[in-house]
Structure formats: structure tokens, C-alpha cells
């Protein structure tokens, strides 16, 4: 029985074997392939790559069989980063003496999730395939599960990695021989399928950690947003190295470290903006207010929904230079293609260093704020959106001891603006949780905001339960 929960807002993701089994993956390939073939007929070329997880090749074969059943032609790029996968959509390849470009790409990846998970990030016509498109695909599959899909493993091999490496080396020739030393932590993900070759060709002064792709992730979990996963990198920064870069499992996210600071996506956006003339930058609703304020001093900052697919679409819609998520998804539309790529972002950071930017000094010049990480509160998929609506109602008449509200931004959940900071409460689009985050110029108010919002959530839950019971 197909498990419909694998169809998420931004991708398809689940446990291998129990949720992503042979039948399910073949059906995904077939029904997605039908959609592609209906539009592009004989030009229905689909480029597929995968990360280092131990079950990727197996899922690849199932997916290929489904796509072939739908008369698509599969281009096999092998093990690559998600950035290389996206890059394939902008390239041309010769297949049977004919020059073609892929109409679609699929990345088989579990990203930063535990090793038993895997999934598919899909791009159609250079745009993310997400939200309603994914849900329509789910409904089509559920209604048509009985088709028999035989094994058909025909593919055409393409070398996207070499094209990508050449592109990065060509566009960052000005970094050649940069003396500043740095460390990169690949986390046994796929970053090093391209990274070290680029570093060597640019003659840079680096050290590489956990370079070998290994889907068991023997050294640490592949999520650089969790600080304990950065311990080895931090140890290296105690000695001769001044800068560190860390990637998630498929290398579409980047976290930057100096000897003093862990630099997340919204702070990196401030640094990148200094190297752009009158920039337009899109940030998610979780980004620091400092980012919006600093960028608005010499450009334009736009707040938008969380989620890499949402930000990619908004970036193109407003023709922004850059978009960022706090978690390290960084989308360059300035001199690049507008997709998130941790490897490419690494060289844009090194470019700032080459131009003399002192990252520590820049961060120390920013107004001091205190903030929490994302705090997750368990609920249910049915209840989470009801809670947001109930909290919205409660905020119309808050209790007397509730901090003074200046504004409520409803772009994605509720970002409640106070005199000394803000609080965020939003429903996750992918899991049955509420996500909260708090920031203030006064540390004590972070705790106050946290306490008041948690109490508000409890009241909202009680009111919902009293109605349903």
C-alpha cells in the first residue's frame, strides 16, 4: 500500500523499503514520466543523479524503469551534489549525434536526514516541482497503482561533474593562489565529488575532512546546522586555520565558521550584499531582523516564505540578486543560475576574503542581538494549521502581560514584531510540528517571548480540544 505521507511540500521523502519500496518508486518514475512525455514527447530527457546513501543506486534503477515505461529517456550523471544536478538543466549534451538539453532533473537524496531516509528533489523546465504539483502527482499515483512496471534499465551516461568543475574554475580564476588557509568538512556526503578537484586547480591552501562519500556517515551526522556536527571543524580552527566550511549530505547547504563565529545564511547574506551594488535580496521569515535592516540600508530586502522551493521561485519572480535561508541554502542569481549550491557559495565567500573583507570585524560591527535556534513543538498535521489560526485570533486580544505588539507579519505563519524584537510561530510544511524562533536586542526578552508564545500555544490547543471533544 502506497504511503501518501512521503509526498511533502518541497520533495518526496521517506524511509527506504518501508515507504520507498520498489513498487512505489517505479510508480513515481512512471507517473512523473507520463507528465513529462505528454509535454515534450521525443525530447523527454530526464537527468538523474544521486548522493552517497547506500540505497541510492537501488532507487535509481527503480526510478529509471518507471521513466522508461513512460517513454522518457534517462540521462545518468551518477553520484553528484545537488548543485551539479541542478546545473545539468542548463547544459547541452550529445546523445546519438543529437544535441539535447534535459527537460527535467531528479536528485535522489536524503539531504541532512538520518541514513535510513532517502527521497527525490525534482526540477521541471528549470523550476522546482513542489507543493500542488507534488500533491497532484500523489493523487494520480494513488488512483493508478495497478500498472505493472517491468525492469528497464536503459540510460545514457552524461558527465556533468566535469562541466561543473570547469565552470567553477573558470569563473573563479581570480582566486588562484589565494594564500588564506581554510578547512572544509564534507561530512562523508557528496561535496568532495567535485570540491577537491576545484581547490587543487585553483591552487588554494586547504585541508579537507571526511572527504570520502559514505552513506553510513561514520564521522558525524550530515547536518551542519547542528553544532555538535561541527566539533571536528572547530578543533581545526583552534590551530593554523582561520576559516571553515561545512556541508550537508547533498552539499546544497553551507555553514561558515571563523575562529570566533558560526555564520549562518542570514549573516552570510549581509556579507555578500557588501559586494553587490544596490542588491535585492530575498530572505525567509526566519531570518534575523538585522539582515533586513542592514540590506535595506543600501539595497532592498524582501521577506518571504520558508522553504528552498519557495525562495527559488520568489528569487526569479522579483529578479533578485540573492536569496537565503538561515539553514545555509544560498541562492545566487547574481552571476549564477539562481539555485542553492553550497559549493558555489564557498567560492563566493573566498572571493570576499580575496577582496579584503574581515568577516570577524564585519560581524562585530553588527548590532548585538540574542536569538534562539528553531524550537520544534510536536502536534499533528491536522492540528498544526488550526493552531496558527487560533493563535492569530488570540493575538487580537492578548493578555495584559503580553509584550506590546507593533506588527504581525503573516507571510508564513505569524512573525510577531515587538518593540525589542520578534517571535515566530509557523506550521512546518513537511512535518507535524510548529516551529518557533525568537530574537531580541535584550537577552531577557528572548526568554519572555518564548514563554508567552508557548503559553499561547497551550491555550490555543486547549480551545481546539474543547471544541473537537
Q: Report helix, strand or coil for 41.
A: helix
Of the listed 31, 112, 329, 348, which one is catalytic? Answer: 329
Question: What is the rounded CA–CA span in Å between residue 90 and residue 160?
Answer: 10
- Taking the C-alpha atoms of residue 411 and residue 81, their distance in angstroms, rounded to an integer, is 31
The Cα–Cα gap between 330 and 346 comes to: 10
Segment holding 231, helix H or strand E: helix 231-236
Instruction: Collect all residues with Cβ–Cβ distance below 8 Å to 241 and sequence separation of at least 6.
Output: 181, 182, 183, 207
The DSSP line for 335-356 is SS-SSB-HHHHHHHHHHHHHTT
* Marked catalytic residue, from 65, 88, 105, 111: 111
CA angle 139, 140, 143 (to 5 degrees): 85
Burial class (CB in 10 A: 0-12, 13-18, 19+), 197: middle
Does the active-site annotation cover 111? yes
CA 158, chain centre distance (Å)? 25
DSSP symbol at 104 = E
User: How many helical (H) and strand (E) elements, i.e. helices and strands, does the chain have?
Assistant: 14, 24
SS (H, E, C) 156-208: EECCHHHHHHHHHHHHCHHHCCCCCEEEEECCCCCHHHCHHHHHHHCCCEEEE
Which residue among the candidates 8, 13, 53, 55 is catalytic per the annotation? 13
User: Angle, to 10 degrees, between the axis of helix 160-171 and the axis of helix 342-354?
Assistant: 20
Catalogue the active-site residues. Answer: 13, 111, 329
Amino acid at each position: 500500500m502506497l504511503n501518501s505521507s512521503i509526498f511533502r511540500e518541497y520533495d518526496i521523502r521517506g524511509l527506504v523499503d518501508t515507504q520507498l519500496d520498489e513498487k512505489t518508486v517505479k510508480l513515481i518514475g512512471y507517473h512523473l514520466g507520463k507528465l513529462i512525455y505528454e509535454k515534450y514527447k521525443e525530447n523527454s530527457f530526464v537527468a538523474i543523479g544521486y548522493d552517497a546513501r547506500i540505497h541510492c543506486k537501488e532507487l535509481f534503477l527503480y526510478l529509471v524503469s518507471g521513466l522508461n515505461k513512460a517513454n522518457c529517456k534517462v540521462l545518468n550523471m551518477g553520484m553528484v551534489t545537488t548543485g551539479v544536478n541542478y546545473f545539468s538543466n542548463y547544459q547541452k549534451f550529445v546523445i546519438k549525434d543529437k544535441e539535447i538539453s534535459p527537460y527535467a532533473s531528479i536528485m535522489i537524496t536524503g539531504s541532512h536526514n538520518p541514513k535510513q531516509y532517502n527521497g527525490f528533489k525534482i526540477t521541471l523546465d528549470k523550476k522546482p516541482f513542489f507543493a500542488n504539483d507534488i500533491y497532484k502527482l500523489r493523487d494520480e499515483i494513488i488512483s493508478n497503482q495497478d500498472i505493472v512496471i517491468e525492469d528497464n534499465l536503459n540510460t545514457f551516461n552524461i558527465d556533468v561533474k566535469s562541466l561543473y568543475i570547469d565552470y567553477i574554475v573558470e569563473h573563479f580564476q581570480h582566486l588562484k593562489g589565494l594564500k588564506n588557509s581554510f578547512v572544509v568538512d564534507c561530512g562523508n556526503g557528496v561535496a568532495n565529488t567535485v570540491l577537491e578537484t576545484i581547490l587543487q586547480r585553483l591552487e588554494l591552501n586547504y585541508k579537507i575532512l571526511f572527504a570520502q562519500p559514505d552513506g553510513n556517515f561514520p564521522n558525524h551526522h550530515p547536518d551542519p546546522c547542528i553544532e555538535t556536527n561541527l566539533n571536528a571543524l572547530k578543533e581545526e580552527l583552534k590551530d593554523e586555520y582561520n576559516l571553515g566550511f561545512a556541508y550537508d549530505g547533498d552539499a546544497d547547504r553551507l555553514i561558515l565558521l571563523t575562529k570566533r563565529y558560526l555564520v549562518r545564511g542570514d549573516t552570510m547574506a549581509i556579507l555578500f550584499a557588501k559586494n553587490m551594488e544596490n542588491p535585492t535580496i530575498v530572505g525567509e521569515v526566519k531570518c534575523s531582523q538585522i539582515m533586513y535592516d542592514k540590506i535595506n540600508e543600501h539595497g532592498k530586502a524582501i521577506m518571504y516564505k520558508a522553504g528552498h522551493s519557495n525562495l527559488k521561485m520568489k528569487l526569479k519572480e522579483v529578479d533578485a540578486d540573492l536569496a537565503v535561508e538561515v539553514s545555509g541554502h544560498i541562492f545566487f542569481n547574481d552571476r549564477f543560475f539562481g539555485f542553492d549550491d553550497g559549493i558555489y557559495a564557498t567560492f563566493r565567500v573566498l572571493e570576499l576574503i580575496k577582496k579584503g573583507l574581515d568577516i570577524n570585524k564585519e560581524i562585530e560591527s553588527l548590532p548585538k542581538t540574542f536569538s534562539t535556534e528553531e524550537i520544534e513543538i510536536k502536534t499533528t498535521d491536522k492540528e498544526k494549521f488550526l493552531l496558527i489560526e487560533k493563535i492569530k485570533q488570540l493575538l487580537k486580544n492578548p493578555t495584559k502581560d503580553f509584550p506590546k505588539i507593533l506588527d504581525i507579519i503573516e507571510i508564513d505563519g505569524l512573525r510577531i514584531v515587538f518593540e525589542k524584537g520578534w517571535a515566530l510561530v509557523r506550521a512546518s510544511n513537511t512535518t507535524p510540528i510548529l516551529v518557533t524562533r525568537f530574537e531580541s536586542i535584550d537577552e531577557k526578552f528572548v526568554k519572555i517571548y518564548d514563554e508567552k508564545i508557548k503559553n499561547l500555544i497551550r491555550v490555543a490547543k486547549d480551545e481546539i480540544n474543547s471544541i473537537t471533544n
